[in-house]
Amino acid sequence: MRMGEGVEWSLHCLLTLGWLESDEPVPTAKLAAVFELPPAYLNKRLQALVRAGVLSSTPGAHGGFRLARSPEKITVMEVVAAIEGAEYAFRCTEIRQRGAGKGRPQDFQRQCVITTAMRKAELAWRRELASHTLADLLAAAPGVAAERTRDWFACVD
Amino acid sequence: MRMGEGVEWSLHCLLTLGWLESDEPVPTAKLAAVFELPPAYLNKRLQALVRAGVLSSTPGAHGGFRLARSPEKITVMEVVAAIEGAEYAFRCTEIRQRGAGKGRPQDFQRQCVITTAMRKAELAWRRELASHTLADLLAAAPGVAAERTRDWFACVD
Protein backbone atom coordinates (compact mmCIF):
# COMPACT_ATOMS: atom_id res chain seq x y z
CA MET A 1 0.00 0.00 0.00
CA ARG A 2 1.52 3.28 -1.04
CA MET A 3 0.45 6.87 -0.66
CA GLY A 4 0.98 9.00 -3.76
CA GLU A 5 3.81 11.53 -3.96
CA GLY A 6 1.18 14.30 -4.06
CA VAL A 7 0.88 14.22 -0.26
CA GLU A 8 4.57 15.01 0.24
CA TRP A 9 4.43 17.69 -2.48
CA SER A 10 1.31 19.32 -1.02
CA LEU A 11 2.50 19.41 2.56
CA HIS A 12 5.86 20.93 1.56
CA CYS A 13 4.06 23.58 -0.52
CA LEU A 14 1.80 24.37 2.43
CA LEU A 15 4.85 24.75 4.70
CA THR A 16 6.39 27.05 2.09
CA LEU A 17 3.26 29.21 1.89
CA GLY A 18 3.13 29.26 5.70
CA TRP A 19 6.73 30.46 5.91
CA LEU A 20 6.29 33.14 3.23
CA GLU A 21 3.18 34.63 4.89
CA SER A 22 2.72 36.49 1.63
CA ASP A 23 -0.36 38.58 0.85
CA GLU A 24 0.33 37.98 -2.83
CA PRO A 25 -0.58 34.65 -4.42
CA VAL A 26 2.46 32.46 -5.14
CA PRO A 27 2.53 31.06 -8.70
CA THR A 28 2.67 27.30 -9.26
CA ALA A 29 5.85 27.75 -11.29
CA LYS A 30 7.67 29.16 -8.25
CA LEU A 31 6.35 26.53 -5.86
CA ALA A 32 7.38 23.85 -8.36
CA ALA A 33 10.85 25.41 -8.68
CA VAL A 34 11.43 25.33 -4.88
CA PHE A 35 11.37 21.53 -5.00
CA GLU A 36 12.16 20.93 -8.69
CA LEU A 37 8.71 19.43 -9.29
CA PRO A 38 6.82 19.26 -12.61
CA PRO A 39 4.57 22.38 -12.55
CA ALA A 40 1.56 20.83 -14.33
CA TYR A 41 1.42 17.81 -12.00
CA LEU A 42 1.92 19.99 -8.96
CA ASN A 43 -0.83 22.35 -10.12
CA LYS A 44 -3.27 19.42 -10.30
CA ARG A 45 -2.57 18.60 -6.64
CA LEU A 46 -2.83 22.21 -5.55
CA GLN A 47 -6.19 22.51 -7.33
CA ALA A 48 -7.38 19.56 -5.23
CA LEU A 49 -6.40 21.56 -2.13
CA VAL A 50 -8.41 24.52 -3.48
CA ARG A 51 -11.47 22.26 -3.85
CA ALA A 52 -10.94 21.14 -0.24
CA GLY A 53 -10.86 24.76 0.94
CA VAL A 54 -7.24 24.51 2.13
CA LEU A 55 -5.84 26.85 -0.54
CA SER A 56 -7.38 29.70 -2.48
CA SER A 57 -6.30 30.35 -6.05
CA THR A 58 -6.11 33.54 -8.08
CA PRO A 59 -6.18 33.10 -11.85
CA GLY A 60 -4.20 35.16 -14.36
CA ALA A 61 -0.63 36.21 -15.11
CA HIS A 62 -0.01 37.32 -11.52
CA GLY A 63 -2.13 34.56 -10.04
CA GLY A 64 -1.20 31.64 -7.83
CA PHE A 65 -2.01 30.08 -4.48
CA ARG A 66 -2.47 31.29 -0.94
CA LEU A 67 -3.50 29.52 2.26
CA ALA A 68 -7.29 29.79 2.47
CA ARG A 69 -7.21 29.54 6.28
CA SER A 70 -4.75 30.15 9.07
CA PRO A 71 -2.24 27.29 9.61
CA GLU A 72 -3.93 26.42 12.94
CA LYS A 73 -7.05 25.51 11.00
CA ILE A 74 -5.48 23.23 8.39
CA THR A 75 -4.93 19.61 9.46
CA VAL A 76 -2.67 17.01 7.87
CA MET A 77 -5.74 14.77 7.60
CA GLU A 78 -7.53 17.29 5.37
CA VAL A 79 -4.54 17.43 3.06
CA VAL A 80 -4.26 13.63 2.85
CA ALA A 81 -8.03 13.32 2.18
CA ALA A 82 -7.91 16.06 -0.49
CA ILE A 83 -5.07 14.32 -2.34
CA GLU A 84 -5.74 10.62 -1.71
CA GLY A 85 -9.52 10.73 -1.43
CA ALA A 86 -11.67 10.24 1.65
CA GLU A 87 -12.37 6.54 1.08
CA TYR A 88 -11.00 3.89 3.41
CA ALA A 89 -7.83 2.12 2.24
CA PHE A 90 -9.41 -1.25 3.06
CA ARG A 91 -12.42 -1.78 0.83
CA CYS A 92 -14.56 -4.73 1.74
CA THR A 93 -15.96 -6.43 -1.36
CA GLU A 94 -18.18 -8.78 0.70
CA ILE A 95 -16.54 -11.98 -0.54
CA ARG A 96 -18.10 -13.59 2.54
CA GLN A 97 -21.45 -13.48 0.68
CA ARG A 98 -20.15 -15.40 -2.31
CA GLY A 99 -19.80 -19.14 -2.78
CA ALA A 100 -20.41 -20.81 0.57
CA GLY A 101 -22.20 -17.73 1.90
CA LYS A 102 -24.46 -17.24 -1.07
CA GLY A 103 -28.22 -16.80 -0.71
CA ARG A 104 -28.55 -16.01 2.98
CA PRO A 105 -28.58 -12.20 3.11
CA GLN A 106 -30.10 -12.22 6.59
CA ASP A 107 -26.77 -13.53 7.94
CA PHE A 108 -24.87 -10.49 6.68
CA GLN A 109 -26.69 -7.59 8.24
CA ARG A 110 -23.87 -6.96 10.72
CA GLN A 111 -20.61 -5.56 9.37
CA CYS A 112 -17.97 -8.22 8.76
CA VAL A 113 -15.56 -8.58 11.73
CA ILE A 114 -12.62 -8.07 9.36
CA THR A 115 -14.00 -4.74 8.15
CA THR A 116 -14.64 -3.67 11.75
CA ALA A 117 -11.00 -4.33 12.72
CA MET A 118 -9.66 -2.57 9.61
CA ARG A 119 -11.92 0.45 10.16
CA LYS A 120 -10.79 0.81 13.78
CA ALA A 121 -7.18 0.90 12.63
CA GLU A 122 -7.89 3.44 9.90
CA LEU A 123 -9.76 5.62 12.36
CA ALA A 124 -6.72 5.56 14.69
CA TRP A 125 -4.59 6.68 11.73
CA ARG A 126 -7.06 9.41 10.78
CA ARG A 127 -7.34 10.66 14.36
CA GLU A 128 -3.57 11.00 14.54
CA LEU A 129 -3.39 12.85 11.19
CA ALA A 130 -6.23 15.13 12.28
CA SER A 131 -4.32 16.02 15.47
CA HIS A 132 -1.47 17.61 13.47
CA THR A 133 -2.08 21.07 12.01
CA LEU A 134 0.02 23.00 9.55
CA ALA A 135 0.83 25.33 12.46
CA ASP A 136 2.31 22.35 14.36
CA LEU A 137 4.49 21.44 11.38
CA LEU A 138 5.63 25.05 10.98
CA ALA A 139 6.54 25.21 14.67
CA ALA A 140 8.39 21.87 14.62
CA ALA A 141 10.42 22.54 11.45
CA PRO A 142 13.94 23.93 11.95
CA GLY A 143 14.16 27.73 11.73
CA VAL A 144 16.79 27.44 9.03
CA ALA A 145 14.24 25.89 6.66
CA ALA A 146 11.96 28.92 6.99
CA GLU A 147 14.88 31.33 6.48
CA ARG A 148 16.20 29.44 3.47
CA THR A 149 12.76 29.46 1.85
CA ARG A 150 12.25 33.18 2.41
CA ASP A 151 15.78 33.96 1.11
CA TRP A 152 15.21 31.80 -1.96
CA PHE A 153 11.94 33.55 -2.81
CA ALA A 154 13.53 36.97 -2.22
CA CYS A 155 16.30 36.06 -4.72
CA VAL A 156 14.00 34.72 -7.46
CA ASP A 157 11.53 37.60 -7.19
CA MET B 1 -4.63 5.04 -1.25
CA ARG B 2 -6.03 1.57 -1.57
CA MET B 3 -5.16 -1.71 0.06
CA GLY B 4 -5.14 -4.67 -2.33
CA GLU B 5 -7.94 -7.23 -2.33
CA GLY B 6 -5.42 -9.83 -1.09
CA VAL B 7 -5.89 -8.64 2.50
CA GLU B 8 -9.62 -9.36 2.46
CA TRP B 9 -9.03 -12.70 0.73
CA SER B 10 -6.31 -13.74 3.18
CA LEU B 11 -8.19 -12.82 6.33
CA HIS B 12 -11.30 -14.67 5.17
CA CYS B 13 -9.22 -17.76 4.36
CA LEU B 14 -7.62 -17.58 7.80
CA LEU B 15 -11.06 -17.37 9.43
CA THR B 16 -12.12 -20.39 7.35
CA LEU B 17 -9.07 -22.41 8.43
CA GLY B 18 -9.71 -21.34 12.02
CA TRP B 19 -13.31 -22.56 11.86
CA LEU B 20 -12.41 -25.87 10.21
CA GLU B 21 -9.74 -26.72 12.83
CA SER B 22 -8.70 -29.42 10.40
CA ASP B 23 -5.59 -31.55 10.90
CA GLU B 24 -5.52 -32.09 7.14
CA PRO B 25 -4.21 -29.34 4.86
CA VAL B 26 -6.98 -27.55 2.94
CA PRO B 27 -6.30 -27.25 -0.81
CA THR B 28 -6.22 -23.82 -2.46
CA ALA B 29 -8.96 -24.94 -4.85
CA LYS B 30 -11.37 -25.47 -1.96
CA LEU B 31 -10.48 -22.21 -0.22
CA ALA B 32 -10.92 -20.42 -3.56
CA ALA B 33 -14.29 -22.11 -4.09
CA VAL B 34 -15.63 -20.94 -0.68
CA PHE B 35 -15.43 -17.34 -1.88
CA GLU B 36 -15.45 -17.85 -5.67
CA LEU B 37 -11.91 -16.49 -5.98
CA PRO B 38 -9.40 -17.23 -8.77
CA PRO B 39 -7.28 -20.12 -7.35
CA ALA B 40 -3.93 -19.07 -8.88
CA TYR B 41 -4.18 -15.50 -7.54
CA LEU B 42 -5.34 -16.72 -4.16
CA ASN B 43 -2.47 -19.22 -4.02
CA LYS B 44 0.03 -16.39 -4.56
CA ARG B 45 -1.37 -14.56 -1.51
CA LEU B 46 -1.43 -17.70 0.63
CA GLN B 47 2.21 -18.39 -0.28
CA ALA B 48 3.05 -14.92 1.04
CA LEU B 49 1.42 -15.97 4.34
CA VAL B 50 3.56 -19.12 4.33
CA ARG B 51 6.70 -16.99 3.94
CA ALA B 52 5.50 -14.88 6.88
CA GLY B 53 5.07 -17.99 9.03
CA VAL B 54 1.30 -17.53 9.35
CA LEU B 55 0.39 -20.58 7.25
CA SER B 56 2.21 -23.83 6.57
CA SER B 57 1.84 -25.51 3.21
CA THR B 58 1.97 -29.16 2.21
CA PRO B 59 2.81 -29.83 -1.43
CA GLY B 60 1.32 -32.58 -3.59
CA ALA B 61 -2.06 -33.91 -4.69
CA HIS B 62 -3.42 -33.98 -1.13
CA GLY B 63 -1.56 -30.82 -0.12
CA GLY B 64 -2.84 -27.43 0.91
CA PHE B 65 -2.67 -24.94 3.75
CA ARG B 66 -2.96 -25.06 7.51
CA LEU B 67 -2.54 -22.39 10.19
CA ALA B 68 1.13 -22.47 11.22
CA ARG B 69 0.29 -21.14 14.69
CA SER B 70 -2.69 -20.98 17.00
CA PRO B 71 -5.18 -18.16 16.17
CA GLU B 72 -4.16 -16.31 19.37
CA LYS B 73 -0.69 -15.89 17.91
CA ILE B 74 -1.65 -14.52 14.50
CA THR B 75 -2.29 -10.77 14.32
CA VAL B 76 -4.12 -8.83 11.62
CA MET B 77 -0.98 -6.66 11.33
CA GLU B 78 1.14 -9.66 10.33
CA VAL B 79 -1.33 -10.57 7.61
CA VAL B 80 -1.45 -7.01 6.25
CA ALA B 81 2.37 -6.79 6.28
CA ALA B 82 2.72 -10.18 4.56
CA ILE B 83 0.37 -9.15 1.75
CA GLU B 84 0.99 -5.42 1.40
CA GLY B 85 4.64 -5.31 2.44
CA ALA B 86 6.14 -3.89 5.61
CA GLU B 87 7.04 -0.50 4.13
CA TYR B 88 5.33 2.67 5.27
CA ALA B 89 2.52 3.92 3.03
CA PHE B 90 4.00 7.43 3.12
CA ARG B 91 7.40 7.37 1.49
CA CYS B 92 9.42 10.52 1.90
CA THR B 93 11.45 11.29 -1.22
CA GLU B 94 13.28 14.20 0.46
CA ILE B 95 12.03 16.84 -1.96
CA ARG B 96 13.00 19.34 0.76
CA GLN B 97 16.63 18.78 -0.28
CA ARG B 98 16.02 19.71 -3.91
CA GLY B 99 15.89 23.15 -5.51
CA ALA B 100 15.85 25.73 -2.72
CA GLY B 101 17.24 23.21 -0.23
CA LYS B 102 20.05 21.94 -2.43
CA GLY B 103 23.64 21.75 -1.22
CA ARG B 104 23.22 22.06 2.55
CA PRO B 105 23.10 18.46 3.78
CA GLN B 106 23.90 19.53 7.34
CA ASP B 107 20.42 21.09 7.55
CA PHE B 108 18.72 17.76 6.88
CA GLN B 109 20.09 15.49 9.55
CA ARG B 110 16.80 15.53 11.48
CA GLN B 111 13.85 13.71 9.99
CA CYS B 112 11.46 16.00 8.12
CA VAL B 113 8.53 17.14 10.31
CA ILE B 114 6.10 15.88 7.66
CA THR B 115 7.59 12.38 7.77
CA THR B 116 7.47 12.43 11.58
CA ALA B 117 3.73 13.24 11.58
CA MET B 118 2.98 10.62 8.92
CA ARG B 119 5.00 7.95 10.76
CA LYS B 120 3.15 8.64 14.03
CA ALA B 121 -0.16 8.10 12.26
CA GLU B 122 1.00 4.91 10.59
CA LEU B 123 2.28 3.59 13.91
CA ALA B 124 -1.16 4.23 15.46
CA TRP B 125 -2.69 2.24 12.59
CA ARG B 126 -0.16 -0.58 12.99
CA ARG B 127 -0.63 -0.73 16.76
CA GLU B 128 -4.37 -1.10 16.29
CA LEU B 129 -3.95 -3.86 13.67
CA ALA B 130 -1.44 -5.64 15.92
CA SER B 131 -3.98 -5.61 18.77
CA HIS B 132 -6.42 -7.79 16.80
CA THR B 133 -5.64 -11.51 16.58
CA LEU B 134 -7.26 -14.15 14.42
CA ALA B 135 -8.69 -15.54 17.66
CA ASP B 136 -10.44 -12.19 18.28
CA LEU B 137 -11.94 -12.26 14.79
CA LEU B 138 -13.10 -15.87 15.24
CA ALA B 139 -14.72 -14.96 18.55
CA ALA B 140 -16.43 -11.84 17.16
CA ALA B 141 -17.80 -13.47 13.99
CA PRO B 142 -21.39 -14.77 14.15
CA GLY B 143 -21.66 -18.48 15.02
CA VAL B 144 -23.71 -19.08 11.89
CA ALA B 145 -20.69 -18.20 9.72
CA ALA B 146 -18.60 -20.93 11.37
CA GLU B 147 -21.43 -23.47 11.03
CA ARG B 148 -22.06 -22.59 7.40
CA THR B 149 -18.37 -22.94 6.57
CA ARG B 150 -18.10 -26.35 8.29
CA ASP B 151 -21.32 -27.56 6.59
CA TRP B 152 -20.09 -26.39 3.21
CA PHE B 153 -16.77 -28.21 3.57
CA ALA B 154 -18.54 -31.36 4.81
CA CYS B 155 -20.72 -31.31 1.66
CA VAL B 156 -17.90 -30.76 -0.85
CA ASP B 157 -15.58 -33.35 0.75
**Which pLDDT band, with edges at 50, 70 and 90, does A69 fall under?**
very high
Contact A117 B125 (CB under 8 A): no
B34–A8 C-beta distance less than 8 A: no
- On chain A, the residues whose CB falls within 8 A of the CB of B35 are 95-96, 98-101
Taking CB atoms and an 8 Å cutoff, what residues of chain A touch B104?
A: 148
* Residue A92: band (very low, low, confident or very high) from pLDDT cuts 50, 70, 90: confident
**A97: Cβ–Cβ under 8 A, 6 or more apart, which residues?**
A105, A108
Task: Give, rounded to a whole angstrom, the gap between the first and last alpha carbons of chain B.
Answer: 40
User: Hey, which of A1-5, A60-64, A70-74 has the most confident mean pLDDT?
Assistant: A70-74
For A9-44, how does the pLDDT look when each residue is reduced to its tens digit (9 = 90+)? 999 999 999 999 988 999 999 999 999 999 999 999
Q: Could you tell me what percent of chain B has a pLDDT over 90?
A: 68
**What's the confidence (pLDDT) of residue A39?**
94
Of A8, A35, A99, the CB nearest to B34: A99
pLDDT in tens, B55-93: 999 998 889 999 999 999 999 999 999 999 989 999 888
CA angle A124, A130, A131 (to 5 degrees): 95
The residue among A109 and A141 whose pLDDT is bigger is A141
pLDDT of the residue at A41: 95
Q: Is the dihedral of CA A9, A12, A18, A24 positive or negative?
A: negative
> Which of A22-36, A102-116, A128-142 shows the lowest per-residue confidence on average (mean pLDDT)?
A102-116
Please name which of A102, A58, A89 lies closest in space to residue B89, comparing C-alpha atoms. Answer: A89
C-alpha torsion angle, residues A154, A7, A36, B115 (rounded to 10) = 80
How many CB pairs below 8 Å do chains A and B form together? Answer: 168
- The pLDDT of residue B103: 67
Bigger pLDDT: B117 vs A155: B117
pLDDT at A72: 98
**Distance from the Cα of residue B14 to its chain's centroid:** 9
Complex confidence, ipTM: 0.91
Instruction: Give the per-residue pLDDT at B136.
Output: 97
pLDDT in tens, A78-90: 999 999 998 999 9
CA distance A84 to A88: 10
**Of the candidate ranges A95-109, B18-32, B111-125, the one whose mean pLDDT is the lowest:** A95-109
Q: Residue A157: what pLDDT?
A: 66
Q: How many CB atoms lie within 10 A of CB B23?
A: 6
- Tell me what pLDDT residue B140 has: 94
Counting residues of chain A whose pLDDT is more than 90, the rounded percentage is 68
Mean pLDDT of chain A: 92
Chain B residue nearest residue A139, CA to CA: B113
